[in-house]
Amino acid sequence: MNGNKMIRLIAVAVCAFMLIQCTAIGALAADIAPEAVVYVRPEVTSVVANQVGNNYVYVDIVTENSDNDQTVMVYMLDAAGELVTVGYAPVGSNKAEVKLGAPDDADTGTYTLVAALNKAADVFKSEVFYIGVEDVNGFFEAINLTDVEASVVKEKFDATYNALSVIECSEDEEGNVILKLTGEDYEALTDGENGAKALFAELILNGVNGGYSAGKGSYTAENSEDFVKDAYLIAAYNADGISDKAMAELLYRFESVIGFDADDESLYGKIQNTDTLAKVVKTIAPTVASVDELAVAMEKAAAVQIVNETHWLNLVDVVKANNDIFQVDEDEIEKLEDTKKLRKLFCEEFQGTYYSIDEIQEAWEDAYKAAKKEYDNTKTGSGGSGSSIGGVVKTSEVSTQLSQDENNKDPNVEIKDYYTDVAGTQYDWASDAILNLSKNKILLGYGDKTFGPEKSVTRAEFMKMIINVLGMADVTATCSFTDVDPNAWYYIYVASAEKLGLAQGYGNGIFGVNDTVTRQDAVTVLYRAAKLKGLSLDKFTASVSLFKDSNEIAPYAVEAVGALYHAGVYIGATNHKQMDKFEPTVDASRAYLAVILDQIYRYMK
């Protein structure tokens, strides 16, 4: 046998023997003392820049399995991978904070943070957007400018706007920053000659109409918070073309600046629909010159929106409690309080969706006159024109438009002319149902001549739709759900639905008034409502196999979905073309529910 070959064979045999022995020893050690041979490597699991200031970056580090005697090192690298600065700190309870001092010549931009423990080979990386000293100085120079054109200030902001994030901001009791502006906020402002960016620069230049002029020349990152936030809020509020949703988000985010709190017990804290509130605010005050002026508009808007969200039984009390804002006739309030029937007639006429104090004052007078006339007619026995179904919300402008019937005109034509987002749109397939429900004052649109066919429906709104279709609003009904406010507009509907066995909640005392209703939940409740009115649906098969997504339908909804479908009620997919799909977990839209409600309403008639 070749000598080299013999040596290789011997080496292989020795290695095999050693491997077997090591395995046996390892197994024995594991049986005797497993903790003695297991080593858990410490590591950095998170690196986050929590504050970026003038010449510094504060970095929070989280570690795992680290000892209190360990030190964490943090490096800041530029885009080329070159070291900019380094810092370190001891680790305590797997946490550490490192302050990195940045050199004056570090430019604004994205940098890489690299963190590592002194006993671990692994590193953790993240990114931070650092604002260079030159940009910070330029930004505050722009804030302190006087006697120049606003365009000069805007030009400087356009070049240094990222320095917004270095402004030191107030914190809450738990140490969390209440509201922080960043460069992204500036970018979000509309541009152009009359845009929000230009207005922001103008407001800064004139000290927000003189309110902050005294500090000009001395504003820094430490003392400019209120000044800059006020200017930004007013500029964003006055911007052309801002949507209701964007306005609602702006007002909510800046509530601490305005002086309102969505969680308190004030009028603002009781608002349910903040999108509509935003629209009311803009109607009351299309533009504002100061935050104080906006706060006054917000107070008025909150009072108007509370009226919009209040059930008709409590409308007089709400208006009376806020009559310092509404300024309606006190004598009329007293007469309404003295006569229950007059009060009821008035409230049914008055309830609606309003967008200003003037609209409420006008509607109040009109409703009082109409209710008084009706009341006097019934007292003298001369009859009257009758009243709408109790509890049906009736926007004054819409109901007037829909009730016109001069010269035997087709009321459907008037409704088509009224809603701007139904006929001739992608929701045209639901137009007939929407027209019929609107004509019968069961489901109306909004005061801005829209129906909102694409909008999801909350569980509270859905209960109102069902009770209106059934015509079974019960003023004596009470509600057991803990999240249903007795003073809210929806109380009568949820209470009536619970009494009828239609509103069953989540089983924990919660109804979920603001949760959106899914298609399968809506169909299930509508099935119960149809049976409640005596519609014979049990004879129809509960099979749902024809739907391609039948396996996604919850067991509790199968009977309702199958019965309504085989009874000829349209419950197909959202686009009205995919009849082979049901989409059970998709939110039910107003258009979708209008189609089903209309079919059940016609069956009941």
Residues of the domain holding 211: 135-241
Enumerate the H helices of 285-356 as residue ranges.
291-309, 315-321, 323-326, 330-338, 340-350
pLDDT band at 7 (very low <50, low <70, confident <90, very high): very low
Judgement on whether residues 122 and 144 belong to the same structural domain of the protein: no
Residue 398 lies in a domain: no
Q: Which two tokens stand for residue 314?
A: 């409590």
Residue 234 lies in a domain: yes
Residues 6+ apart with CB under 8 A from 462: 517, 522, 525, 588, 593
Bridge-based pairing state of the strands 56-64 and 95-101? antiparallel
Judgement on whether residues 208 and 114 belong to the same structural domain of the protein: no
Span 109-160, pLDDT tens digits: 888 888 887 655 567 888 888 888 888 889 999 999 999 999 999 999 999 9
Lowest-confidence segment of 87-91, 106-110, 388-392 by average pLDDT:
388-392
Span 375-417, pLDDT tens digits: 787 665 444 333 332 233 333 333 333 333 323 333 344 445 5
Please tell me the predicted confidence (pLDDT) of residue 516.
93
pLDDT band at 418 (very low <50, low <70, confident <90, very high): low
Angle among Cα 583, 585, 591 to the nearest 5 degrees reads: 65
Distance CA 157, CA 432 (A): 53
pLDDT band at 249 (very low <50, low <70, confident <90, very high): confident
Please tell me the predicted confidence (pLDDT) of residue 15.
40
Please tell me the predicted confidence (pLDDT) of residue 193.
56
Residue 277 lies in a domain: no
**Burial degree of 34 (CB within 10 A; 0-12, 13-18, 19+):** exposed
Q: What's phi and psi for 362, nearest 5 deg?
A: -65, -45
Chosen domain end from 345, 361, 387: 387
pLDDT band at 236 (very low <50, low <70, confident <90, very high): very high
Residue 81 lies in a domain: yes
Q: Helix (H) and strand (E) counts for the chain?
A: 23, 7
Higher pLDDT pick, 402 / 218: 218
| Mean of all residue pLDDT scores within the chain | 78
Higher pLDDT pick, 433 / 352: 433
- Asked if residue 8 has pLDDT above 70, the reply is no
Q: Report yes or no: 562 and 520 within 8 Å, Cβ to Cβ.
A: no
- Asked if residue 269 has pLDDT above 70, the reply is no
- Asked if residue 2 has pLDDT above 70, the reply is no
Q: Could you tell me which of 124, 127, 115, 123 has the C-alpha nearest to residue 78?
A: 127
Instruction: Give one DSSP letter per residue of 121-173, joined into a string.
Output: S-EEEEEEEEPPHHHHHHHHHHHT--SS-HHHHHHHHHHHGGGGGGS---B-T
- Asked if residue 480 has pLDDT above 60, the reply is yes
Distance CA 156, CA 186 (A): 13
Residue 247 lies in a domain: no
Element (H, E) at 113: strand 109-117
CA dihedral for 145, 149, 154, 155, sign (positive or negative): negative
Q: Which two tokens stand for residue 558?
A: 């199968």
Please tell me the predicted confidence (pLDDT) of residue 42.
65
Residue 282 lies in a domain: no
Compute the average pLDDT of residues 312-337.
85
Element (H, E) at 87: strand 83-90
Kindly report the CATH number assigned to the domain that includes residue 113: 2.60.40.1930
Judgement on whether residues 378 and 481 belong to the same structural domain of the protein: no
Judgement on whether residues 454 and 590 belong to the same structural domain of the protein: yes
Distance CA 178, CA 385 (A): 56
Please tell me the predicted confidence (pLDDT) of residue 212.
92
What's the longest Cα–Cα distance across the chain?
A: 132
With residues binned 3-state (H G I as helix, E B as strand, rest as coil), the percentages for the chain, rounded to 5, are 50, 10, 40
Beta bridge partners, 86, equal: 75
Residue 272 lies in a domain: no
Span 583-600, pLDDT tens digits: 889 999 999 999 889 888
Lowest-confidence segment of 58-72, 204-218, 300-314, 459-473 by average pLDDT:
58-72
Q: Which strands make up the sheet holding 83-90, listed edge to edge?
A: 83-90, 71-77, 109-117, 123-130
Q: What's phi and psi for 427, nearest 5 deg?
A: -105, 20
- Asked if residue 342 has pLDDT above 60, the reply is yes
Which residue, chain included where needed, has tokens 């979905």? 561
Please tell me the predicted confidence (pLDDT) of residue 349.
80
Instruction: Count structural domains, the chain.
Output: 5
Q: Report yes or no: 494 and 480 within 8 Å, Cβ to Cβ.
A: no
Residue 35 DSSP label: G
Judgement on whether residues 447 and 426 belong to the same structural domain of the protein: yes
pLDDT band at 219 (very low <50, low <70, confident <90, very high): very high
Distance CA 76, CA 82 (A): 8
- pTM score of the predicted model: 0.58
